[in-house]
Amino acid sequence: MNYWVSVIFRAIPLAMMAVCLGYGVDIWTTTADASHSVAGPIVTFLASICLCLYCTAATIIRQLIGRFTAADRVLFPVLGYSVAVGTAAFGISLFLGASSAGESPDYVAGHVVFGLGLISGCVATVATASTKFSLIPQNSRLPKPEGDREPPDSAFSPTTALVLCLIPVFLAIVAWAFAITNLALGTTPARFTVGHVVAGLALICTALIGLVVSIVRQIQDTYRPRARVTWPWLVIAAGTIAFVWGIVLLAWNGPDYYQTPGFVMVGLGLVCFSILSKVGLLALVWRRTFDLANRVPLVPVVTALTCLFLAAFVFQAAVDDESVFVAARVLVGLGAICFSLYSIVSILESGTSSGD
């Protein structure tokens, strides 16, 4: 990979982080009404995911250009997990400090920010698993008999590999627990919104299980043929559920507060499909050539543009309908996440193609 191209790919998630941070803080501090108090923290802490994506990008790129050091092996995972823990902790402090549980803006914002912290933890795990990314093209280069595969000496220990795979599983379970609890207690608009949106965040955590497991198993050289189907279809299922869930909420003839989780769920579905480009690419190029591999990075570009165009329409709707104010702002942040994922997919395509 060309050095200056690598700089651009690392700059993309940082630029998207700056967009989310600046835009979120502006929303947060402009007006102290309920809509701003919900949208502001959420958009601001979408920057946490972008920063964790930067850690992943830097971890892989520095291996590809031969500049990965022992300090990098520790720095990027620690930075990612620190951001994830800080984000989740802030979310918890918001919803625990809400003036009226299940009703106040802080209750909604706190739960969603907590969910973003869980996603950041999953992405930080992707960065940690990627500290041995250079083994993927090496393992993929020469096919071996199915029963003659042993992890390379420099791969993760079996215990470490198992822990890495279990982290996103645990975080997804936590997200699902919060979502189901709020849906079961959905007697207020705030709980209704939290239940549906956090379910969408749980679907993203679920999709990231497929990414982490795919990376770990290719590093361990235990990526079996059925994995080509299992993990991409897990992500497809998560994205489809989120997208259809959002459409159903929007089409349902319910109160106005159905619209915000509806639009956000559609955006979260698009984020899942961006993740699919990474999981699918790893499956498509493992021990074989895929001629259209260099087209796969277009998927997150399309999803990012879709988020931004949808946000434009929702912004226009928000002129007359205050109930979609939050959705319009959050969709912009989700577009930034999708575009950050474009950087990661492009890096994966460059790194895995070197093993053909």
pLDDT at 186: 72
- In which domain, by residue range, is 249 found? 3-139+152-353
Q: Are 236 and 305 in contact (CB under 8 A)?
A: no
Q: Among 29-33, 210-214, 268-272, which stretch is predicted with the lowest mean pLDDT?
A: 29-33
pLDDT at 143: 64
The answer as to whether 220 is a domain residue is yes
Q: Are 132 and 78 in contact (CB under 8 A)?
A: no
Find the angle CA(345)-CA(349)-CA(355) to the nearest 5 degrees. 145
The answer as to whether 144 is a domain residue is no
In the chain, % of residues over pLDDT 90:
76
* Per-residue pLDDT at 356 exceeds 70: no
* Per-residue pLDDT at 146 exceeds 60: no
The answer as to whether 65 is a domain residue is yes
Confidence tier at 100 by pLDDT (50, 70, 90): low
Burial class (CB in 10 A: 0-12, 13-18, 19+), 31: exposed
Looking at residues 223-246, what average pLDDT do you find?
95
Q: How many CB atoms lie within 10 A of CB 111?
A: 28
Q: Using H for helix, E for strand and C for coil, what is the string for the chain?
A: CCHHHHHHHHHHHHHHHHHHHHHHHHHHHHCCCHHHHHHHHHHHHHHHHHHHHHHHHHHHHHHHCCCCCHHHHHHHHHHHHHHHHHHHHHHHHHHHCCCCCCCCHHHHHHHHHHHHHHHHHHHHHHHHHHHHCCHHHHHHHCCCCCCCCCCCCCCCCHHHHHHHHHHHHHHHHHHHHHHHHHHHCCCCHHHHHHHHHHHHHHHHHHHHHHHHHHHHHHHHCCCCCCHHHHHHHHHHHHHHHHHHHHHHHHHCCCCHHHHHHHHHHHHHHHHHHHHHHHHHHHHHHCCCCCCCHHHCCHHHHHHHHHHHHHHHHHHHHHCCCHHHHHHHHHHHHHHHHHHHHHHHHHHHHHHHHCCC
Q: Are 202 and 176 in contact (CB under 8 A)?
A: yes
Q: Are 128 and 145 in contact (CB under 8 A)?
A: no
The answer as to whether 297 is a domain residue is yes
pLDDT at 163: 98
Here the tokens at position 311 are: 């946000």
* Per-residue pLDDT at 267 exceeds 50: yes
- Taking all residues of the chain, what is their mean pLDDT, rounded to a whole number? 92
- pLDDT greater at residue 272 or residue 290: 272
The end-to-end CA distance of the chain, in Å, is 15
- Which residue in 270, 167, 160 sits closest to 209, CA to CA? 167
57-97 pLDDT per residue, tens:
999 999 999 899 999 999 999 999 999 999 999 999 999 98
The answer as to whether 205 is a domain residue is yes
pLDDT at 254: 80
Looking at residues 314-338, what average pLDDT do you find?
94
pLDDT at 45: 98
**Position of tokens 């591999």?**
293
Confidence tier at 246 by pLDDT (50, 70, 90): very high
pLDDT at 322: 87
pLDDT at 244: 97
Which residue type, as a one-letter code, is found at position 243?
A: F
**What is the number of structural domains in the chain?**
1
The answer as to whether 50 is a domain residue is yes
d(CA 356, CA 143) in angstroms, rounded, equals 11
The answer as to whether 146 is a domain residue is no
Q: Report the b/e string of 178-192 with b at 16+ CB within 10 A.
A: bbeebeeebebbbbb
The answer as to whether 68 is a domain residue is yes
The highest-confidence range among 133-137, 254-258, 304-308, by mean pLDDT, is 304-308
* Per-residue pLDDT at 145 exceeds 60: no
* Per-residue pLDDT at 273 exceeds 90: yes
